[in-house]
Amino acid sequence: MFTPKSIALASFSAAALLCGCRSNVESFKTDVQPILEHNCAVCHSPGGIGYEMSGFSVQSYATLLKGSKFGPLVIPGSSKQSNLIWLLKHGAHPSMNMPKICEHLAAQDGKCAIASQYARRLPERQVKIISRWIDQGARDN
């Protein structure tokens, strides 16, 4: 028998099948970490200038959540209150925006010796992935 509930369920699963889209749940390991690894780790891991100056390392989930010597940068559940997103969106003073541009990279065995004053922007798509992950609770998933 077709109750309104079974019809609703059937059309919901049909929509899910037709769409074939991946879920909107962002994963730390597969979505967020690779972006940080690629764009931040050269400076924000032990030995890097960003880590030395701010204490902020993107090496692991634990260090990301811990933040910098000035406090947390990720507020689970609220990308709006997370300074990390603020800096990535270039909402701060230009000297604070991230990621900074790395100079003299090759000369220093791949370590960034001098961080310029200027920052480039991460593609909006990547900032959205990190924002969604924070809004979904910033889990170690």
CB atoms within 10 A of CB 54: 15
Contact flag: residue 33 with ligand HEC (CB under 6 A): no
Query: 117 and 94 in contact (C-beta within 8 Å)?
Result: yes
Q: What number of chain residues touch ligand HEC (CB under 6 A)?
A: 24
For 65-85, letters b (16+ CB in 10 Å) and e give ebbbeeeebbbbeebeebbbb
Of 42 and 129, which CB lies nearer to ligand HEC in the complex structure?
42
Residues contacting residue 82 through CB under 8 Å, at least 6 positions apart: 73, 74, 75, 134
Kindly indicate which of the ranges 6-14, 22-30, 66-74, 132-140 contains the residues binding ligand HEC, using the contact rule CB under 6 A: 66-74
Contact flag: residue 53 with ligand HEC (CB under 6 A): yes
Q: Which of residues 89-108 bind ligand HEC (CB under 6 A)?
A: 95-96, 98-100, 102
Query: 129 and 35 in contact (C-beta within 8 Å)?
Result: yes
Kindly indicate which of the ranges 2-10, 14-22, 23-31, 50-58 contains the residues binding ligand HEC, using the contact rule CB under 6 A: 50-58
Contact flag: residue 63 with ligand HEC (CB under 6 A): no
Which tokens go with 57? 């390392």
Contact residue for ligand HEC among 32, 45, 49, 134 (CB under 6 A): 49
| Contact set with ligand HEC (CB under 6 A) | 39-40, 42-44, 49-50, 53-54, 56, 68, 70, 73, 84, 87, 95-96, 98-100, 102, 112, 115, 122
